[in-house]
Amino acid sequence: MRAVLLTGFGGPEKLEYRDDVPDPQAGPGEVRVKVGATALNNTDIWTREGAYGSPGDPGATAGWRREPLHFPRIQGADVAGQIDQVGPGVPESRIGQRVLVDPTIYQGGERELAVTDLLGSERDGGFAELVTVPAENAHPVDGPLSDAELATFPTAYTTAMRMLNRAAVRQGETLVVTGASGGVGSALIQLANVRGAHVVAVAGKGKHRQARELGAAATVERDAADLAAAVEAAAPGREIDVVADVVAGPSFPALIAILRPLGRYVVAGAIAGPLVETDLRTVYLKQLQIVGSSFGTHEDFAKLLEHIRAGQLKPLLAASYPLAELRAAQEQFVAKGFFGKLVVTPASA
């Protein structure tokens, strides 16, 4: 089959397009999916770069579980396609089903999520023509959305849902979303709106209109000289109940400062830098909660499917690339000059 192999930690040169990769075979309890489309995520870039560090060394080269990866690896967590083979123990009636894949591969409760295998990281993923997954991770889907549109959902939206759940966001609360033009940020806007929250979106120039169209009640310039003052001006008379952050970096102190007493800060990314400083007196005197979050649970994925089927979420497909141009797709992804999600499609490789 055709696939893109990640041959080691490093830059885009570590991505190798091949047309002679052996076809994977569905094992016991598994299905094989003929890939229709696979979306890109920040974790693809950070995993390629080995940018997750280790508990004792923030600069160490490692995958998201902060341990070595096995190469070569096929990346790509967000897969939509059609089942074309089943392994022992899986009904043959599943062959031909159109599916959307839950990328987290674990059993048990949510504590196991912290050590899950992730499709495209610990297990070969969807930047290929074929991929195998546990049968229970391949969820039947129907409806008018294309494979490319469906692939925009899994990681970003379940990550966003997990953040909202971890921070217990409720109807009527005011939520500040950073990185609002990215996959997780735009998902946060939509999912928070489903809950009836009031969203203030922090986004770069030229991306405020799209954020408002998704449901943000107000927008703030990402590079505002005084972020706290800009948020206050955008939400006059409203206390900030929750900050949902995927950016971190230099903005972290301001994001902590804008929270009301007993407010909650939830983080699932650090695009602008993982090492931050703040005045802990602000945290304890205001009795703030700082909450870490990462990938969504199986329950989050099931809820996401309900929202998709109900037509409550808009797929934000910014561009599609042939599989052979994955390097170019990742370069555009890093440049952040788009709103929503990028996908690759093996059929046009």
Instruction: Please write the tens of the pLDDT for every residue from 47-56.
Output: 999 888 888 8
CB atoms within 10 A of CB 202: 29
156-292 classified as CATH 3.40.50.720: yes
Mean pLDDT of the chain: 94
Report whether pLDDT(268) > 60: yes
Chain centroid to CA 167: how far?
17
Nearest to 70 by CA among 50, 93, 87, 40: 50
Helix (H) or strand (E) holding 106: none
Residues of the chain with CATH 3.40.50.720: 156-292
Report whether pLDDT(349) > 70: no
CA distance 70 to 92: 32
Nearest to 121 by CA among 134, 105, 137, 139: 105
For range 269-274, the mean pLDDT:
90
Q: What is the pLDDT of residues 138-156, one digit of tens each?
A: 999 999 999 999 999 999 9
CA angle at residue 129 from 128 to 132, to 5 degrees?
A: 80
Residues of the chain with CATH 3.90.180.10: 3-152+316-348
**pTM above the 0.75 mark?**
yes
- pLDDT of 81 reads 98
- pLDDT of 229 reads 94
- pLDDT of 113 reads 78
Sequence-ordered alpha helix ranges (H) in the chain: 42-49, 147-150, 154-166, 183-194, 208-214, 227-234, 252-257, 280-285, 298-309, 326-335
Chain centroid to CA 159: how far?
5
Report whether pLDDT(317) > 70: yes
For range 234-254, the mean pLDDT:
95
**Domain 3-152+316-348, CATH class in plain words:** alpha beta
Could you tell me the two tokens for 140?
A: 């039947």
